[in-house]
Structure 1
């Protein structure tokens, strides 16, 4: 549902090292909230691949695509 209350959307797309593909989106009320979520999501992926949560091999292929887009213009 497109509403003026949620003008930004965070989109993501990335592949796993086993060939899986995942994508999704979430709505945000402003650019700052979207950018903060984008940074946290990216940090989580790095943590899963390289940090304390890493498995024997990376789980995600780099680079993951995570973008914040303004709904009305389709631009960052």
Structure 2
């Protein structure tokens, strides 16, 4: 299995102003790759929230939970 070789996982849990809830995960080969994806994911959430300020729905309720976890230890 490919995912078993990926030592890091990015997890997220988000709720929107319209009551939507989403969660998910993506596997990464290195901590640096996971942290880079986390940063880009955060930038996307900011863009979605800024769109909400222009009248578009939905916006992400703070705080979004996005974490990079080492699979073997369960720690960042």
Aligned position for 1:16:
16
Aligned position for 1:75:
75
Give the structure-2-normalised TM-score: 0.87
Give the CA deviation at 1:66: 0.3
Name structure 1 gaps, 5 residues minimum: none
Tell me the alpha carbon deviations over residues 16-66 of structure 1, each in whole angstroms, 9 at most, x when there is no partner.
Answer: 10111000000000000000000000110001111xxx0316611011100
Aligned position for 1:61:
61
Aligned position for 1:34:
34
* Counterpart-to-counterpart distance in 2, 1:60 and 1:32: 25
Flag the structure with higher helix content: 2
Count of paired positions: 72
CA RMSD of aligned residues (A): 1.4
Name structure 2 gaps, 5 residues minimum: none
